Each structure stands twice: as structure tokens, then as C-alpha cells.
A = this chain, B = another copy of it.
């Protein structure tokens, strides 16, 4: 643990790499596959990475290709991956805050952080407990609903409840139905608990923890919680409105649904791009406008220190505040009543621009590795992999192995990169020995 905290940029990727290797070997066991024989290497690697990185992208049909043992494996890997991500991100987030505290006590006091680095084990316990509570509650609702409304046998109902609850809270998005959740598009008792699980898991543990204490005192929230919560609300509303506006009369998606179902489908689909990965409507049938907005929402992603991917809500809105300050000519970037330091701004820019560069390069590579794939579809799948979303326009299973390996790489970098790099950037500050005179290039 001490080594993790000292060298996060090395330990985190190594830990994930180890997990992926072991998981791939497990998924290659003949017992994991429904039919006789074992899964090919690329299929096993893709599925293992997708589970451990809580992405949920598929190269095969999950319910029919894998055995029940395979499904249990996917559940366990998702759970371990999700816990690992939450725990590491939370610990590293604390470490960053702590380091800051050592450097500038006044600032750290002004920004009241509720978490202390002291008892690492206690924090990990809380992460585990939070996951357990959410997943149990979601699983219970799903199981009851599946048993009573759809006449599933009790065992099957409980198992499917647990499977999808784990997938939801960990923002993974594997499903035990070939159509993901499309058959449940009008079922509030299925869609709402899953959506709530996705949103809660996607907020991130630092935010969940603070909300548990101060839910009714938004004035006391830290800058991080405020940015994450209000930012998420803005993005959810935007996704909801865009879904309804663009898909309202599309006969292959919302057109055939009645009004309450339209609203429920829009609600569900507004949460899923960031980065739940389930779908109750077919993304391949959506308008180009909708997939373009969905791609943007996927890229932004969820909260830091959670199981959501993307560049993160805080990064996105922080940059919006930077632009606002620049346009208004404010010398400082102020969020609420807190100033955001230049170091944090520079970190946000780096995360966002590296994300853009990675998605652009990945899309270019995917187009080069395939024949005749449109930019729209390539960008969608690459963003889904990078932001560990798991939504698909149906392209991934049809890709050649080289292109699937590219997506594996993107899932891994998108997942591990945001945690490791973020922490590394925040910790890795050299002291200034001398300073050059200022140059002033003309910009824009």
C-alpha cells in the first residue's frame, strides 16, 4: 500500500495489467464457454479487459457465448475491477489532497476535506460497504420484479438481479440478454433501479461519502462535490432533452413508444452514455444527431474516483469555468466561492487534450485497420472504449482481431490512464530553481 502511494503511476497500471492477464486465462477455460472448446485468445482478452475495466463492450453475445460459470466470472471480474478502481482512485485522491495539505496548510483548511488519509483499511471497508448496500438494494428490486412480473424461477430472478446490479453500480454494462435491456424499455421497476445504480456509482466515492454526510447542506459541499453533482445534473438533463428531441418520431427507436415509455427511455438513455453502457433502445438505429451528442456525453463521462470513465465531469466543467473567466477577463478562475489554482487548471487541460488526442488517434487507427467503416461509427466505438462506456452501434463484434486489440488498448489506457496519470500529474511537481523571462506568442 505504501508503494502504491509512492509510485501510483507505475503500480496502478501493473496491478491492472496483472488482473487482465489472470482474467484472460480464466476466460479461456473451457468451462467459461457455453459450447465445447475454449474461447479464442482475442475474445477472452477482450471480454476480460472489458470486465476488469468495467466497460461492457462485447465481441460476442454474452448470454449465449459464455456459460453460467463464464457469467459468474464476468460478475467477479467486474466487481474486483470496480472495487479496485474506486479504492485506488479514492486513495490517490486523498493522497493528492494530503500532499497539498502538507504544502499549504491554509488552503487545505479553507477547503474542508472530510476524508483523512489515516486509516486506509477503514476507507477500503467503506468503499466495499457502499458497494454492497447499493448492489443488494438494486438486486433485490430487480429480483422481485423479475420473479413476479416475468415469472422467472426464484433462483434465476435472484441471479439476474445480482448480475445486473453489479454491472449497474460498477458502471460496466454487460447484460444477460442479447438485446441488453431493450425488452425492458417500458418497465420502470427494471430501468429506474439500474439507472440509479449507474448514476450513483458514476458519481464516485468521494462525492457519495460527502453526500451521505451533507446531503441537505449543499452550501457546505466541497468544490469537487459541487462541480460533480451540478455538472451531472446538467449533463443528465441535456441527454434527456436531446434524446427526446432527436428520437421522438424515429420509428426505429422512440417513435413506436407511448408517452410514459418515451420519458422512461429518455431518462435511462440520458444516464447510460456516462458511462453505464446498458441500452433500452438500439443505438445503431438512432439518428446521426443523437449518436453525435451521445459520443460527446461518453467522452465527458462521470465523476472522478468512481467507476465512470471519460475525462470526467469536473474536468469538463472546470474548463468551462476557465473559458468563462477568460472571456470575462477575471484574473482568477472561481467556482462558487473557491479559486481553482493554476496547477489544477493545467491538469484539466492536459487530461482533456490527451483524451482528445487519444480518441482522434484511435479513430484514425480503427479506420485504417478496417475497410469502409464510417467516421461516425468508428468514433462512437472508440469513444465508448476510451471512456469505458460499453455502448455500441454494433461495430465491435464485426471488427478484425487487430481492431479489437486496438479497442482493448483503448479500454486499458482509458481506464488506467485517467487514474494513474491524474494522480501522477498531481503529485509530480518539481520545485522551481530558476525562471525564464516571459515570452508572449500571439494566440488565436
Which A residues are within 8 Å of any B CB, using their own CB?
A: 93, 96-97, 100, 104, 106-107, 110-111, 204, 206, 222-224, 227-228, 288-289, 292-293, 296, 304-305, 311-312, 314-315, 318-319, 322-323, 325-332, 334-342, 344-354, 356, 360, 363-364, 367-368, 373-376, 379, 418-419, 421-422, 425-426, 428-432, 435-444
Contact = CB atoms under 8 A, between A and B. Distances in A.
Contact of A442 (B304, B311, B364): B304
Contact of A363 (B292, B334, B443): B292
Given A292-B363, A304-B441, 11 more contacts: A96-B440, A204-B442, A222-B439, A292-B360, A319-B353, A323-B354, A341-B438, A342-B342, A351-B443, A374-B375, A422-B443
Contacts of A305: 442
Contacts of A314: 441-443
B441 A339 contact: no
A338 B428 contact: no
Among the interface residues A96, A329, A342, A432, which one has the most CB atoms of the partner chain B within 10 A? A329
B439 A329 contact: no
A436 B353 contact: no
Contact of A439 (B228, B331, B339, B432): B339
Contacts of A296: 360
Contacts of A326: 346-347, 349-350, 425
B351 A440 contact: no
Nearest to A109: B437
Contacts of A430: 328-331
Nearest to A341: B438
A352 B326 CA distance: 13
A5 to B, nearest CB: 16
30 contacts: A93-B442, A96-B442, A204-B442, A223-B440, A224-B439, A224-B440, A288-B373, A288-B375, A289-B368, A292-B363, A292-B375, A314-B441, A314-B442, A314-B443, A318-B443, A323-B354, A326-B350, A332-B432, A334-B436, A335-B439, A338-B438, A339-B436, A347-B444, A348-B443, A349-B349, A351-B444, A374-B374, A374-B375, A374-B376, A421-B444
A232 to B, nearest CB: 13
A111 B442 CA distance: 13
Contact of A428 (B329, B348, B432): B329
A104 to B, nearest CB: 8
Given A326-B425, A364-B292, A443 B344 contact: yes
Given A111-B440, A312-B443, A340-B441, A429 B364 contact: no
A322 B289 CA distance: 33
A309 to B, nearest CB: 11
The 6 A-B pairs at the shortest CB distance, nearest first, are namely: A338-B439, A223-B439, A110-B437, A422-B444, A329-B428, A375-B376
A292 B379 CA distance: 11
A203 B282 CA distance: 48
A234 to B, nearest CB: 15
Contacts of A435: 332, 339
A284 to B, nearest CB: 14
A421 B223 CA distance: 29
A318 B349 CA distance: 12
A339 to B, nearest CB: 4
B436 A337 contact: yes
A14 B107 CA distance: 45
